[in-house]
Amino acid sequence: MTLFPSNNKITANKRGLAAASFGAVAAIALTLSAPAIAGPGGHGDHGNMEGHKMSAPKFSFGEPAPDATPDVRVEMDALDTMRFSPETVSVKAGSVVEFVVTNKGQIPHAWSVDTIEGQKKHEEGMKDMPMSNMMGHMDDEPNGFVLKAGETKSLIWKFSKSGTLQFACHLPGHFDAGMHSTLEVTGGDHDDKGKKAHQH
């Protein structure tokens, strides 16, 4: 009852060849990936970073929006005088803002946006952290980053509601030296007048 005995034979041969070459590819892939498995053993820090990402914190004032098209772009500088420039920024609730921050100094600085309370807590949490851990820790934050001298980084954030927020640098001593500034988020559902207010 077999209709195409010769065809079946060819198919069987082709399958045999395909299986053989797949086996060869798999063997190569295993060889290549072996060193990668053995590699990261010495770096304990990476485990912490991944754990941190798993428990991404929620923010009361909005969320990162890396894929959104920004409504407005805010350029800021981090300075060795322990200041951000400009010192006060105003954006609208509901808007998507791209912050482009440049470290104009000779030493590293950090930049993050958070509530005033959140920045205070972050600063307190940094006090006992070794510098090497601190840099990695802050670069892993969804609401900020660390900048080497001369470096520029950007963050796109969607602000959900009005309120007073704060930019801050949490490198040792910088926050206490005054490296924080104010972000006013105006407007929103409960404050329509704020939408029409002029920026100062």
Q: In a 3-state reduction of DSSP, which class is residue 19? A: helix
Per-position x/- string for 52-91, each x denoting binding to Cu ion as judged by CB under 5 A, each - no binding:
----------------------------------------
Q: Which is nearer to Cu ion, 146 or 185 (CB)?
A: 146
Which of the stretches 8-16, 87-95, 105-113, 119-127 binds Cu ion when contact is defined by CB under 5 A?
Answer: 105-113
Of the candidates 76, 92, 109, 185, which one interacts with Cu ion according to CB under 5 A? 109
Are the CB atoms for 73 and 98 separated by under 8 Å? Answer: yes
Q: Which is nearer to Cu ion, 155 or 171 (CB)?
A: 171
Per-position x/- string for 153-172, each x denoting binding to Cu ion as judged by CB under 5 A, each - no binding:
----------------x-x-
Q: Which is nearer to Cu ion, 138 or 165 (CB)?
A: 138
Question: 141: number of CA atoms within 13 Å, CB side?
Answer: 24
Sequence-ordered strand ranges (E) for 58-179: 62-64, 72-79, 83-85, 88-92, 96-103, 109-115, 144-147, 152-159, 163-168
Instruction: Give the residue closest to Cu ion by C-beta.
Output: 169
Q: Which residues contact 142 (CB under 8 A, 6 or more apart)?
A: 56, 57, 59, 64
CA distance 91 to 93: 7
Of the candidates 76, 168, 179, 183, which one interacts with Cu ion according to CB under 5 A? 179
Q: Give the shortest CB-105-to-Cu ion separation in angstroms.
A: 8
Number of residues that bind Cu ion (CB under 5 A): 5
CA distance 85 to 30: 52
Q: Give the shortest CB-189-to-Cu ion separation in angstroms.
A: 35
Are the CB atoms for 151 and 103 separated by under 8 Å? Answer: yes
**Which residues are at the interface with Cu ion (CB under 5 A)?**
109, 169, 171, 174, 179
